[in-house]
Amino acid sequence: MTNYVRLVKESDQQPIMMYESAFLRSADLEYLDASDQAVVVDHLLAQFSENAAGMITKTMVGISRYLTDGDVRRFLDPIASIMSTSETQDTDWDVHRFLRSEYSTATADVQEAILRRLDMWVAHETMTKNEDGANRLNDTKSYVIDAVPF
């Protein structure tokens, strides 16, 4: 992980992307100190906005433990964008499972921020008359909330 942090800080994108696709799992952030965790989270969230669908099943799994409520917009917006425009149940299911898993391991502050951000997306999709997107996002929210035992 130390070599990866060095790559993020010093290299161009190509070696970083090769390392990420071969080795990186967000869960491995536990082996870094807090400042290096912040560097990696910032980098991954930037990449996530470009390629959310490709990162959901692999690289981003486990990142929620390292998010702050300030990171939620960059984390959730790519997911909400996929859900509001998705036309396949396979995509919906992958995103539901990913978000449910990440939500369940996030801090309470991050969980609250995720729900608030989902509500904002639902309101936006409703206002822009994308009722299908709003319904998919509401379904996503319900699925995520139902996963957390009370």
Of the listed ranges 9-13, 29-33, 52-56, 80-84, the one predicted with least confidence: 9-13
- What's the pLDDT band for 147 if we cut at 50, 70, 90? low
pLDDT tens-digit series, residues 15-25: 677 777 667 78
Q: What is the pTM of this model?
A: 0.84
DSSP string for the chain: -HHHHHHHHHS-HHHHHHHHHHT--GGGGGGS-HHHHHHHHHHHHHHHHHHHHHHTTTTTTTGGGG--GGGHHHHHHHHHHHHHH---HHHHHHHHHHHHHHHHHS-HHHHHHHHHHHHHHHHHHHHTT-HHHHHHHHHHHHHHHHTS--
